[in-house]
Structure 1
Amino acid sequence: MLKVEGQLALAQAEAGLIPREAAIAINQAALGLEPEPLSLATGTASAGVPVPALVKTLKDGLAPDIARWVHFGATSQDIVDTALVLNCRALIGVYESRLLSVIGMLAQLAEQQRGSLIAGRTRTQQAVPMSFGLKIVTWIDPLLRQHQRLAELRPRLLKIQLGGAVGSLVAMGSNANAVARDLADRLDLRYAPSWHTQRDSLMEFSGWLAMTTGSLGKIAEDWLRMAQTEVGELRFSNGGGSSTMPQKCNPVNAEIMMAMARQNAGLAGQMQQCMLHEHERSGAAWTLEWLVLPQMLMNTGVGLRHCLEGLQHLEISPDRIDANLNSSNGLIYAEAATFALAAFMSRDDASRHVGSACQSVAGSERHLFDVLKELTGRELDLPQIRQDLLCGGASEHWIDESLKNARTLTGSDSSTN
């Protein structure tokens, strides 16, 4: 906020609105000021916004003939909103860096695991074997889209707020537009008309925050289920322990990712309420925004950081993956067996035989393919079926496309890492 006050004074001096000497003094004082937090808290409790107390503190350190030009023609919301945008810009840099790192690490993992079969699961049940690389691609692609969305929303978000009392900037007279454009240039933000009660850009950004943590939450949901003791397909070497159970290796990173996703999902709905401003300014809607948006900003940074940490400590168990594939005595290959048998009989007959075989296998120790051989006289080639499931259909193409997009974005070659 002090940076905005200082740069506003310089822009006003450039337009001839205030004396240049005063502007230089205001900017220097603003850069060096360290306001007392308790003073700002007391002022905020009284005025509902910290700017009046901040301006008073800034003025108190200046000569009266200089102090009179501080905050000239501006309103508190101009300062708070522009400062918020500057902070959002700094955080976007952090988000983008972490997002690219997550994408790059996931792309390496997908390349490493594209030749491994894993149980595909729908509605928590084993469904059909699939390439583990393809499963990882479903983690990557939403993050690629989030990076694209961030680039698209950035110019709509990163703009100055300068409207004065009711958004007309009338107190700055004929110099108003020149001051606004100069302030935008000085802060390296986009020039825009006042948006005091138009919170759609912040709403869009909060949606991005919720979608980003939600995409990370989907990854975490898979990690949590795959790390369950009975599944054991992955674990985290930095897992948290227990105060009383020494065997525990709790997937803390994934848990925190899920918590951030869930809270941001709820807060996104509250941000919708922040768009409901009456007339030219709403103290209630604005205050709610201060309570909601900072928490969402923090949650997003935390979620990305814990995703990076989780990837750095992720350990995959090929043995457990294979054991889970084999745990159903071949039932996971039922769809593949139906299509394989359909080469020798009608699809309806193949489906009927496989359905009957599944009923026989359930609760027994017999393998699906053994029962099918008895029913049809056909011996199915399990290794070939596994290979088809790994590389058939669009799986290879979709993995290639995702990894190509990830490499283009991150500037890395996942195939060599």
Structure 2
Amino acid sequence: MAQLFSIPARRQRYLDVEAALALAQADLGVIPHDPAQQIAATAHLHLLDAARIDADEVRTAHPLMPLITELARVVGEPAGGWIHWGATTQNVQQTADVLGLRLALNLLTAQLCDLLDALTVLTERGAELVMAGRTHGQQAVPITFGFKTAIWVDAMLRHLERSQQLRPRLLTAMMGGAVGNFASLGDIGPAVQRRVAERLGLTPMPLPARSLSDPFAELVCLLGMLAGTGSAIAGEVARLMANEFAEVGEALGEGDVGSSTMPQKRNPKKSAAVIALSAQIRALVPLALEAMIHSHEVEGARTAMMDAALEQGCVLSGELLTLLTEVVRGLELYPERMAANLQLSGGLINAEAVMMQLAQKIGRGEAHEVVHHAAREVAIRGAGAGFLEVLSHDPQIQAELSAQELTQLLDPASHTGLSAALAHETSARARRAVEHVREQLNDEHLENRL
């Protein structure tokens, strides 16, 4: 990912745009055909003198003119005089950056598909595995581990969907000239922009104003949301690895050391790294939103801010997805500890099941009061007081529910609702979505090669 934003990669994309511009203008009779062909044939970084470009960039303090000057030198006259005809620097840079973002978005999308593959496998593994569901840090009702991970899948699927919905707004060519009104090219300007877009596999900006940067901010916001979900997953893994839960564990590499002074430590290293990366990515969202606020028709500082947010966001997101996929693929599940944790409350985790069954006999309000009173009795008595024992000695409950019914109601596996079904359903939905997106990526790759 970082290579996409390297200076050589950026310069080659600038040359690609200059070539597309020259050929598009030749198609429309704006510049002569032969010079356009010469420009396109020479617009390859390996044909130019990198040292000259670097030195001229130091001298001019300009990111594009040294490249244009060197291209013109190598092309020679008169063809060199037709390079960059009617364009401004941001036209070329932004359009070239969009080409880079297309590659970055394709990479991130492929990584997200890989993560969803891993999450789907994990969800199927845990679809029937009963564990404690927790709300506000406390045991609530039984769920299955697959239901927990299906929630992660569902969120990631929406990020995948957003990444595809964003593409038409993001992947655009801008060739509107100095302020976006086609003053340098006149009436034929929109046609030139359309032709450039066609040659580059982009769509033309409806209004190519240089201050319009909301699609770039949208991408950074998407990366921020993706990072937020990633941090939620990693944070949950880290919590469930704690000794007090010990329900899952990151895969240990051979020779892994958790601490220099505590030999027993098994730390959630990769999960911690994901959480740290997520914080850095989410911190870029305010920067991208701030970068939208241009003065007049464009402001260089805002453009630089957006460039930084985009590059850092893409690179860090690639690292996050790599690490998170490793965590998910290697995650170890400990069913025995999940089962043991279900018994920590002495049966209270199934209080809802008892209440709902009792409510059919005496009404929900009264049933809630009766079961709540029994639960408080367990809490008051402390260790050794089981929920079943307290319920069995309550006259009102005795009158409505048999001992066999109570025993069955207090079985955690009997009160997981549709956890398993939702896990399987979500996994199937994810597989379909990933297959569809991969087909689109393959089609685009083939189209670009042709």
- Are 1:142 and 2:142 counterparts? no
- Are 1:200 and 2:214 counterparts? yes
Relative to structure 1, the CA distance from residue 359 to residue 52 in structure 2 (aligned partners, 3 Å threshold; closer, same or farther) is same
Q: What's the C-alpha RMSD, in Å, of the aligned pairs?
A: 2.4
Q: 1:266 Cα shift?
A: 2.0
The aligned counterpart of 1:409 is 433
The aligned counterpart of 1:415 is none
The aligned counterpart of 2:39 is 26
Distance 2:226 2:411 in 1: 37
- Are 1:110 and 2:153 counterparts? no
Q: 1:109 Cα shift?
A: 1.9
Distance 2:435 2:217 in 1: 31
Q: Deviations over 1:292-319 (max 9, x none)?
A: 1211111221221112111221111111
Distance 1:265 1:132 in 2: 28
Q: Deviations over 1:233-286 (max 9, x none)?
A: 111114663334333332222222222322222211111111111121111111
Mapping of 1:1-40 within 5 angstroms? 1-33=14-46, 36=50, 40=54
Distance 1:41 1:83 in 2: 22
Q: 279, 300, 309: which is aligned to 2:326? A: 309
Structure 2 stretches lacking a partner, 5+ long = 1-13, 437-450
Shifted more, 336-345 versus 23-32: the winner is: 336-345
Whether the 8 Å contact between 1:131 and 1:389 is mirrored in structure 2 is no
Q: 1:338 Cα shift?
A: 2.2
Q: 399, 402, 414: which is aligned to 1:388? A: 414
Mapping of 1:16-415 within 5 angstroms? 16-33=29-46, 36=50, 40=54, 43=57, 47=61, 49-192=62-205, 193-238=207-252, 241=257, 242-362=259-379, 363-376=382-395, 377=398, 378-379=402-403, 380-382=406-408, 385-390=411-416, 392=417, 394-411=418-435
Whether the 8 Å contact between 1:44 and 1:50 is mirrored in structure 2 is no
Q: 1:157 Cα shift?
A: 0.8
Q: 1:18 Cα shift?
A: 2.2
Q: Percent identity?
A: 33
Whether the 8 Å contact between 1:41 and 1:50 is mirrored in structure 2 is no
After TM superposition, the score normalised by the length of structure 2 is 0.84
Q: Deviations over 1:346-381 (max 9, x none)?
A: 444433333333233333222211121122435312
Shifted more, 12-21 versus 224-233: the winner is: 12-21
Residue 92 of structure 1 aligns to a residue whose secondary structure is helix
Structure 1 stretches lacking a partner, 5+ long = 413-417
| Number of aligned residues | 409
Distance 2:18 2:374 in 1: 77
Distance 1:369 1:104 in 2: 42
After TM superposition, the score normalised by the length of structure 1 is 0.90
Q: Which amino acid aligns with 1:20?
A: H
Distance 2:297 2:272 in 1: 42
